[in-house]
Amino acid sequence: MALLLRHSRKLRRVHVVLDCERGSIARHFSVAAAKEDAVSSSSVHGEYGKKVGRSSIFLDRQSDKDLHTFKVSSREAGGSYSSKRMPIAATGVNSLFSCGQVVSARHFSSGADLPPHEAIGMPSLSPTMTEGNIARWVKKEGDKVSPGEVLCEVETDKATVEMECMEEGYLAKIVCGDGAKEIKVGEIIAITVEEEGDIEKFKDYKASSSAAAPAESKPQSEPVEPKEEKKEVSKAPEPTATKTEESSQSGDRLFSSPVARKLAEDNNVPLSSLKGTGPDGRILKADIEDYLSSAAKGSKKEAAAAPGLGYVDLPNTQIRKVTANRLLQSKQTIPHYYLTVDSRVDKLIKLRSELNPMQDASGGKKISINDLVIKAAALALRKVPACNSSWMNDFIRQYHNVNINVAVQTEHGLFVPVVRDADKKGLATIADEVKQLALRAKDNSLKPEDYEGGTFTVSNLGGPFGIKQFCAIVNPPQSAILAIGSAEKRVVPGAAEGQYEIGSFMSATLSCDHRVIDGAMGAEWLKAFKGYLEDPTTMLL
């Protein structure tokens, strides 16, 4: 097999792929294009070796698994660079590198009659992302692109994030257009080329399943035999599936990851009915999720078959699906219990009415009751730090930072942006941040740093909706969430016998993870929280 790079410029792009921190890139080099710049070859460090300018590509054969490995090395200005060796399919060089949170792949094609190009894959833009949607393309086919420019907007499991270009070139082909749904991480979404004249050659380009980089969440499984793949590439997964079934059932023992076993146990999924997609038939978390997704679709079809029932199917956004899965997991795996307290908030309402004129005079945002609740919750967490913790199976992690997530309902679903170090910020700063985050949530433009890293959540359905009292579901990995109801007027006994007065009372319910927060500990936190609400001037000290 002849594998050649064209210029040192191509070599620099190899370095970009090996050193990249984000972006998912695949490059295809065709023999037809490479022959023009072919140079002498030599065999070094392996069965095959091709010298390319100041760079070399080496291929080694592993006799035990009949796999190739490759190594890219260069020496310029006295320096050197070499990549880690990775196992490659025997039918061609197809190596995967881990670049930050994103899978990056490089493909060398010996049969495709296409010029050198780069295949942009769906990036992993959040720790829990396994697939995403294309909200819209900012660039169009034929547009020139430069590093740092926004290519498209990707709807992740958390928010809509801008995806930037990694290298200079031209956008030759958009594989997944506006509105494309459920694109796996690593799957090819676009093609870029270096020369403007090469754009037309990708007019009818279609990404094959073998060219797509696999999702980050699924480890690369063993390649199929070369002869079978040459006969019919589309049937390559069949031998793997057969081998998977045999290995997963060998010795009446099932192999699965700890996360997959836990998820299967929580959802009553029989592992024996699954075919693992991991190495040696190992059952992964993604296999359980696929099984649950298929079961849910089957139930939906049965419900839709009911006669005389009018309905409309509303597609779920990525954030709504992820929220649903997380809440289901929380309710099934976390031992919830609830504590409710009523606080008299007359002084709180009075303080707010005194602060807002000063805010108006200074041009700041008006302070809401919810802003005061966030500050009180943060200070209570500082006073009772044991409630600012997470269950980590073998230990309890207690946080030094008090980061409060604030639940915001939008037409896209429920978002929980975070106010960081809320215990150290003033009311005016909290009010400004909450309003800015709420606007970005409603515009679906939150960034990962806007919602990650929270240690406690506040959900308020009282002010906007008039809900008197409710119990919220803990937002894992946090251990508590505070549900705020509306303030209502009540007649209460006065200072003297036979006297009565009217006071405003607000209900607050703390949902706790009993593994972390015992009843007395939760009660202690609520006592501190109530103290700040009923004597709000202590929050200003």
Residue ranges covered by each domain of the chain = 117-201, 327-540
Mean pLDDT for all residues in the chain:
74
Which range in 128-137, 306-315, 452-461 is most confidently predicted, on average pLDDT?
452-461
Listed residue (255, 293, 292, 294) closest to 275, CA to CA: 255
**Mean pLDDT over residues 478-498, rounded?**
93
Per-residue pLDDT band at 349 (split at 50, 70, 90): very high
Rounded Cα distance between 408 and 414, Å, is 6
pLDDT recorded at residue 299: 57
pLDDT recorded at residue 469: 95
Percent of the chain with pLDDT over 90: 36
pLDDT recorded at residue 56: 33
Summarize pLDDT for 24-80 with one digit per residue, the tens.
334 444 333 343 443 333 333 333 333 333 333 333 333 333 333 333 333 333 333
pLDDT recorded at residue 303: 54
* Structure tokens belonging to residue 125: 């833009």
Helix, strand, coil fractions of the chain, as percent rounded to 5: 35, 30, 40
Q: Number of helices (H) and strands (E) in the chain: give both, helices first.
A: 13, 26
Whether residue 152 is predicted with pLDDT greater than 80 in this model: the reply is yes
Per-residue pLDDT band at 475 (split at 50, 70, 90): very high
Whether residue 317 is predicted with pLDDT greater than 70 in this model: the reply is yes
pLDDT recorded at residue 238: 40
Residue 130 φ/ψ, nearest 5 degrees: -115, -20
pLDDT recorded at residue 298: 61
Per-residue pLDDT band at 153 (split at 50, 70, 90): confident
Of 210-219, 468-477, 492-501, which range is least confident?
Answer: 210-219
Q: Judge contact between 325 and 263, C-beta under 8 A.
A: no
pLDDT recorded at residue 305: 55
Helical spans, DSSP H, in 305-340: 318-333
Cα of first residue to Cα of last residue in the chain, in angstroms, is: 74
What 8-state DSSP symbol labels residue 519?
H
Whether residue 100 is predicted with pLDDT greater than 70 in this model: the reply is no
Whether residue 264 is predicted with pLDDT greater than 80 in this model: the reply is yes
According to DSSP, the residues that pair with 420 across neighbouring strands are none
- Indicate the SS3 state at residue 53: coil
Residue 467 φ/ψ, nearest 5 degrees: -75, 130
pLDDT recorded at residue 368: 95
Rounded Cα distance between 16 and 168, Å, is 12
pLDDT recorded at residue 83: 35
**Mean pLDDT over residues 154-168, rounded?**
81
Predicted TM-score (pTM) of the model is 0.55
**Mean pLDDT over residues 112-122, rounded?**
80
Per-residue pLDDT band at 304 (split at 50, 70, 90): low
- 327-540 belongs to which CATH class? alpha beta
pLDDT recorded at residue 422: 97
Q: Which has the higher per-residue pLDDT, 131 or 517?
A: 517
Rounded Cα distance between 92 and 49, Å, is 14
Rounded Cα distance between 166 and 147, Å, is 5
Q: Which has the higher per-residue pLDDT, 443 or 348?
A: 348
pLDDT recorded at residue 348: 96
- Going from the C-alpha of 69 to that of each of 45, 91, 132, 236, 251, the distances in angstroms are 11, 12, 31, 20, 32
pLDDT recorded at residue 8: 41
pLDDT recorded at residue 277: 82
**Mean pLDDT over residues 85-91, rounded?**
33
pLDDT recorded at residue 208: 63
- Indicate the SS3 state at residue 28: strand
pLDDT recorded at residue 514: 97
Summarize pLDDT for 398-427 with one digit per residue, the tens.
999 999 999 998 887 889 999 999 999 999
Per-residue pLDDT band at 332 (split at 50, 70, 90): very high
**Mean pLDDT over residues 122-137, rounded?**
82
Whether residue 458 is predicted with pLDDT greater than 50 in this model: the reply is yes
Rounded Cα distance between 484 and 536, Å, is 17
> What is the CATH number that goes with domain 117-201?
2.40.50.100
* Structure tokens belonging to residue 135: 């909200």
Per-residue pLDDT band at 513 (split at 50, 70, 90): very high
Whether residue 220 is predicted with pLDDT greater than 60 in this model: the reply is no
265: CB partners within 8 A, 6+ apart: none
pLDDT recorded at residue 454: 96
Which residues are tagged catalytic? 514, 518
pLDDT recorded at residue 477: 94
pLDDT recorded at residue 197: 86
